[in-house]
């Protein structure tokens, strides 16, 4: 498995995996397949070329099998913070350490920036495996948002978690 920073030349394969993620795990994302399926490729290129965000991809024999995105805060008083979004691994590649490797890479990159002190993320409260993974890296829940997401007539609660890099545990 290879983990690397994605760029604009990866936009087509990134979009393909992103749309699969939105279809396979719709409760895990704030966005939906319907909202993103017709987005122009330029939107994905722009995201992957952003100065305030970076996305890592996990590859297995040239196939993109997982991604994670980190977004830096840009306002002066918030520059010590960033957020992790859209961690996803193809179902047939789960339980092989892919999510662990992606999370480790994104945290290491945030550490390298020297200004990031806190990393935030949100996770559907019922996703025990994801919460266990985040906890293993030292993320701690600081809030529960009831009915954070709504799909048709079903609500999903989200836990908001934070990692203070000065207190990070090794995994």
- The pLDDT tens digits for 49-96 are 999 999 999 999 999 999 999 999 999 999 999 999 999 999 999 999
Q: What is the pLDDT of residue 164?
A: 96
Question: Which residues does 118 contact at the CB level (< 8 Å), separation at least 6?
Answer: 80, 81, 82, 162, 163, 164, 165
- The pLDDT tens digits for 5-56 are 999 999 999 999 999 999 999 899 999 999 999 999 999 999 999 999 999 9
Q: What is the pLDDT of residue 167?
A: 62
For the chain, which domains are there? 2-167 (3.40.630.30)
Sheet strand arrangement including 154-164 = 2-5, 53-60, 63-72, 81-89, 118-124, 154-164, 140-151
Q: Are 30 and 69 in contact (CB under 8 A)?
A: no
Q: Are 59 and 45 in contact (CB under 8 A)?
A: no
Q: What is the pLDDT of residue 170?
A: 47
Q: What is the pLDDT of residue 166?
A: 81
| pLDDT band for position 168 (cuts 50, 70, 90) | low
């Amino acid at each position: 498995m290879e983990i690397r920073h994605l760029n604009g030349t990866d936009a087509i394969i990134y979009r393909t995996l992103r749309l699969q993620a939105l279809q396979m795990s719709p409760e895990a994302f704030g966005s939906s397949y319907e909202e993103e399926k017709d987005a122009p490729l330029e939107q994905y290129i722009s995201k992957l070329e952003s100065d305030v965000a970076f996305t890592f991809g996990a590859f297995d024999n040239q196939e993109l099998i997982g991604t994670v995105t980190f977004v830096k805060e840009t306002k002066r008083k918030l520059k010590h913070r960033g957020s992790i979004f859209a961690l996803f691994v193809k179902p047939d590649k789960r339980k092989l350490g892919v999510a662990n490797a992606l999370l480790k890479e994104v945290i290491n990159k945030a550490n390298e920036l020297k200004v990031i002190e806190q990393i935030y993320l949100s996770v559907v409260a019922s996703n025990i495996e994801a919460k266990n993974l985040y906890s293993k890296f030292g993320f701690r829940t600081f809030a529960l948002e009831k009915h954070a997401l709504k799909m048709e007539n079903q609500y999903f609660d989200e836990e908001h978690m934070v990692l203070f890099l000065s207190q990070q545990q090794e995994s």
